[in-house]
Structure 1
């Protein structure tokens, strides 16, 4: 979890998509995050974390829904939502913290 602390401690916003492959995630989610990352460029980080491969972290953060999106900045959670989100919504949410 030390690496996670370093990751979210960034002074730029960090959008994390907590997901599980077993839920049958479609390519839509992957392309949505690609669009978000492309739109934000170096103003933010966009990261996907597989909850099955990072069970301890998912349990610590009480990740129940798939997907769950969280925005961190300076180590502090700024926004959290479970369920699919469109690219424009995610972009505008992250831009609030740029």
Structure 2
């Protein structure tokens, strides 16, 4: 069976990130946001592109915090390992 590709609207993404729709639009126009599709004048975001974008923007906590809570170090290491499989798409914009 064919896998269904999930898409989010600008409003969906704004709700997911708890930002205004105009902020999401600005990210798109500035080229600082995730890849997007533009079909018939409607902007759509593939969920997989959103998840890749979010994965590339994970930041590690300061070392001081890791030393205070070593049990979180394994979780951080797992997250960083997951990022190794995310392709780098810097500078690419997708407008159809």
- The structure with the largest strand share of the pair is 1
More helix by share: 2
User: Same fold, TM exceeding 0.5?
Assistant: no
Q: TM-score scaled by structure 1?
A: 0.25
Structure-2-length-normalised TM-score: 0.25
